[in-house]
């Protein structure tokens, strides 16, 4: 189950957090993994760790907001590994702030990474995947949305706006690629609060004490804990693998039951 042997994957924002766990799990499941990120030292170290434990990974420096970077990443991926089977659009940034205090610069930064980055990743992944034969396993694009793309938030409306955008862009991509006859699937993953450097930042700016954070997590979702990056990575691996062959345009919620009530 959930094997991706011989497949080639790009994971944007793959140097740490959910992307890092995903890159390591895809490699463990048999893929050659291209880790891309702005964080060069972390990305390089993870690639070395994966290679050291018998997997195959390379790190490429990458700013997902720049189209020229995407062109370089895709060209190097195809040149090095011969194609692209799996694109994980994971790179994202978070932002807290009430709407009336949010600046246009804050807004542009969130949209540049969370929306433009996913658009460019999808555009260039489709170009690399579109000549795939109809009889092969489908290529798979997996986009990181959030529970914030499903329900509203009192503290991060613009972030929610970007993640809601990723949710519907995913569904439109799924429809469009089939209409154009491409053997590509596209699905979104919606994590709840998950332990990562991004979550550390969310908690650090929340003004909650450690005890308040613990109490908050115990009641926030049905399972009473934060997600771990590996919890999310397993859902991404499933969508990347042929075990999800009948899924496209779907949203997979991994949130400990947060959105169940």
Ligand X SMILES: NC(=O)c1ccc[n+]([C@@H]2O[C@H](COP(=O)([O-])OP(=O)(O)OC[C@H]3O[C@@H](n4cnc5c(N)ncnc54)[C@H](O)[C@@H]3O)[C@@H](O)[C@H]2O)c1
- Which region among 92-100, 130-138, 207-215, 233-241 touches ligand X (by CB under 6 A)? 92-100
Single residue of 6, 197, 224, 257 touching ligand X by CB under 6 A: 197
Q: Which residues are catalytic?
A: 159
Single residue of 4, 8, 10, 15 touching ligand X by CB under 6 A: 15
Which residue in 185, 174, 175, 144 sits closest to 162, CA to CA?
144
- DSSP letter, residue 84: -
Q: Determine if 93 is a binding residue for ligand X (CB under 6 A).
A: yes
Q: Quote the CA–CA distance of 13 and 197 in Å, as a whole number.
A: 12
Q: Determine if 187 is a binding residue for ligand X (CB under 6 A).
A: no
- DSSP letter, residue 155: S
Q: Determine if 193 is a binding residue for ligand X (CB under 6 A).
A: yes
| Smaller CB separation from ligand X, 6 or 152 | 152
Output the DSSP codes for 16-72.
SHHHHHHHHHHHHTT-EEEEEES-HHHHHHHHHHHHHTT-EEEEEE--TT-HHHHHH
| Smaller CB separation from ligand X, 91 or 177 | 91
**CB-CB contact of 59 with 32 (8 Å):** no
**CB-CB contact of 197 with 17 (8 Å):** yes
Q: Quote the CA–CA distance of 180 and 36 in Å, as a whole number.
A: 28
Binding mask 26-65 for ligand X (x = CB under 6 A): -----------xxx----------------------xxxx
Total chain residues near ligand X (CB under 6 A)? 30
Q: Determine if 95 is a binding residue for ligand X (CB under 6 A).
A: no
Q: Determine if 125 is a binding residue for ligand X (CB under 6 A).
A: no
The footprint of ligand X (CB under 6 A) covers 12-13, 15-19, 37-39, 62-65, 90-94, 113, 117, 144, 146, 191, 193-194, 196-199
């Amino acid at each position: 189950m959930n094997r991706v042997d011989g497949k080639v994957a790009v994971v944007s924002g793959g140097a740490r957090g959910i992307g890092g766990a995903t890159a390591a799990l895809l490699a463990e499941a048999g893929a050659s993994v291209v880790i891309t990120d702005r964080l060069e030292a972390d990305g390089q170290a993870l690639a070395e760790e994966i290679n050291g434990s018998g997997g195959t990974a390379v790190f490429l420096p990458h700013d997902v907001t720049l189209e020229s970077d995407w062109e370089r990443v895709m060209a190097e991926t195809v040149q090095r590994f011969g194609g692209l089977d799996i694109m994980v659009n994971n790179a994202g940034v978070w932002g807290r702030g009430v709407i009336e205090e949010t600046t246009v610069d804050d807004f542009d930064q969130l949209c540049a990474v969370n929306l433009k980055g996913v658009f460019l990743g999808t555009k260039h992944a489709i170009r690399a995947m579109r000549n795939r034969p109809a009889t092969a396993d489908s290529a798979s694009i997996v986009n990181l949305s959030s529970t914030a793309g499903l329900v509203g938030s009192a503290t991060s409306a613009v972030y929610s706006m970007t993640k809601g955008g990723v949710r519907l862009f995913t569904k439109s991509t799924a429809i469009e690629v089939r209409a154009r006859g491409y053997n590509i699937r596209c699905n979104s993953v919606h994590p709840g609060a998950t332990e990562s450097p991004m979550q550390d930042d969310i908690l650090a700016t929340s003004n909650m004490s450690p005890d308040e954070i613990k109490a908050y997590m115990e009641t926030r979702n049905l399972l009473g804990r934060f997600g771990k990056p590996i919890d999310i990575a397993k859902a991404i691996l499933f969508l990347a693998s042929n075990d999800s062959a009948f899924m496209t345009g779907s949203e997979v919620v991994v949130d400990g039951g947060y959105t169940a009530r």
